[in-house]
């Protein structure tokens, strides 16, 4: 299979590929660039109009794929195998990091031996809750939503709550929310910290929706995201809370769902979560869920 790996000047071809073959929430060009940092450089591997969003670490020994291959489903395994063979056998990199849904991962594992490659044990997995907007009840009726209904009523009774777009707030103030979030999260999620600052500096370039939550006159939360390419699904990519008030997270997420329903989205994806965060997201009663696996591929010794 003929392909070319671009280290620069690939924006036009990558955007065209995402527009035609994008198939998951991570297929978003600005998000891809924001995910880069001083340790890894964004790359694009093009396979006859199809492709892979990837990163090369500065030591040259590690590469990382940005989720699923940009191609029809039946061709994704073949393309991923060719890319892994190129990175690990030709370039002699040590490790290729990958995140895939279960079906894609299982199919890839069946064929790794053909390229003298092997998969390591799964590092961890993420569960992504999906909400069907035609079933979302913004009034939180019924016994299943009794607790959330009480939380919402109490919060709005005790506080003045407003929501505005990001362009109504200074970048310094938005960054203050990120800094407060980081302090509250202690040693977790620091890998995303620079990405969030990059998003603010770019003026939320590529985002379809942004909501800034104001409580009692202070900016306290940011939610934002985009439409998943070739779908009716919205990906809630960003959910930053300064944790200054009890139950602030529930209120921000409830508003997000209600607002997104009013905008006409059919499905809302609340993003990947490990156990603790997933339990929080389950409060909102997702209609379904899917899982992605994070693992690595190496050469057979």
> Taking the domains of the chain in order of start, what are their residue ranges?
4-119, 128-291
Per the CB < 8 A criterion, the answer to whether 27 and 53 are in contact is yes
**pLDDT value of position 275:** 84
292 burial type by CB count under 10 A (0-12 exposed, 13-18 middle, 19+ buried): buried
Please name the residue that has the structure tokens 């990382």.
Answer: 64
**pLDDT value of position 82:** 96
Nearest to 7 by CA among 44, 36, 34: 44
**pLDDT value of position 1:** 65
**pLDDT value of position 53:** 98
**pLDDT value of position 86:** 95
Across the chain, which has 301 residues, the per-10-residue mean pLDDT values are 89 97 96 88 95 95 96 96 96 97 95 97 95 96 95 96 95 93 66 82 95 96 96 94 90 96 96 88 95 96 78
**pLDDT value of position 51:** 97
**pLDDT value of position 301:** 78
φ, ψ dihedrals at 298, nearest 5°: -135, 170
**Sign of the C-alpha dihedral computed for residues 70, 71, 73 and 79 taken in this order:** negative
Residues 6+ apart with CB under 8 A from 188: none
Per the CB < 8 A criterion, the answer to whether 46 and 4 are in contact is yes
**pLDDT value of position 296:** 98
- Cα–Cα distances in angstroms (integers) from residue 200 to residues 66, 100, 155, 169, 194, in the given order: 21, 28, 28, 11, 10
Candidate CATH numbers 3.40.630, 1.10.287, 1.10.1200, 3.30.530; the one for domain 4-119: 3.40.630
Domain 128-291 top-level CATH class: alpha beta
**pLDDT value of position 187:** 52
């Amino acid at each position: 299979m003929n392909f070319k790996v671009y280290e620069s000047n690939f924006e036009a071809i990558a955007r065209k590929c995402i527009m035609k073959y994008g198939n998951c929430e991570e297929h978003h060009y600005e998000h891809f660039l924001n995910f880069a940092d001083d340790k890894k450089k964004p790359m694009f591997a093009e396979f006859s109009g199809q492709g892979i969003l990837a990163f090369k670490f500065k030591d040259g020994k590690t590469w990382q794929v940005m989720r699923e291959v940009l191609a029809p489903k039946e061709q994704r395994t073949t393309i991923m195998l060719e890319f892994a063979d190129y990175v690990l056998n030709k370039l002699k990199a040590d490790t290729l990091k990958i995140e895939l849904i279960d079906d894609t991962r299982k199919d890839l594992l069946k064929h790794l031996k053909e390229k003298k490659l092997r998969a390591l044990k799964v590092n961890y997995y993420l569960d992504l809750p999906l909400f069907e907007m035609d079933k979302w009840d913004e009034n939180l009726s019924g016994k299943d939503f009794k607790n959330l209904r009480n939380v919402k009523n109490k919060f709005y009774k005790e506080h003045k709550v407003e929501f505005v777009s990001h362009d109504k707030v200074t970048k310094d103030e938005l960054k203050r929310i990120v800094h407060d979030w980081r302090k509250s999260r202690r040693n977790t999620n620091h890998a995303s910290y620079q990405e969030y600052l990059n998003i603010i500096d770019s003026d939320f370039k590529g985002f379809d929706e942004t909501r800034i939550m104001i409580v009692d006159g202070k900016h306290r939360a940011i939610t934002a995201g985009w439409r998943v390419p070739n779908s009716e699904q919205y990906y809630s990519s960003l959910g930053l809370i300064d944790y200054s008030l009890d139950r602030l997270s529930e209120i921000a997420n409830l508003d997000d769902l209600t607002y997104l329903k009013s905008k006409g989205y059919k499905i809302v994806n609340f993003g990947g979560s490990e156990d603790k965060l997933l339990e929080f997201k389950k409060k909102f009663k997702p209609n379904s869920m899917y899982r992605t696996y994070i693992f690595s591929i190496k050469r057979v010794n």
